[in-house]
Amino acid sequence: MIINHISHYIPEIVVPNIYFTANYGISNEDIISKSGIHQRRRIQPGENTNSMAIEAVKKALHKLPFQ
């Protein structure tokens, strides 16, 4: 087996660090300094691991050496 192509899918809903500041009192600077995370992504209703994998394959399909 060989790897022919690598693809990805990123959910559209962005959860910024401001959410955690507002709900938990953690500052944006603390989050970034401790974890390096500036924002997170969240799935939409109806999305799951399978649907995200299908979207990643769709993006890579035209670049695969076989069809």
**According to the model, what pLDDT value does residue 67 have?**
58
Cα-to-chain-centroid distance, residue 44? 12
Band the pLDDT of 52: cuts 50, 70, 90.
very high
**According to the model, what pLDDT value does residue 9 have?**
95
3-state secondary structure of 3: coil
Residue 33, domain member (yes or no): yes
Q: pLDDT tens digits, residue range 23-50? A: 999 999 999 999 999 999 999 999 999 9
The pTM is what?
A: 0.67
Residue 3 corresponds to which amino acid? I
Residue 3, domain member (yes or no): no
Rg, the chain, Cα only: 17
Question: How many domains does the chain fold into?
Answer: 1
Residue 1, domain member (yes or no): no
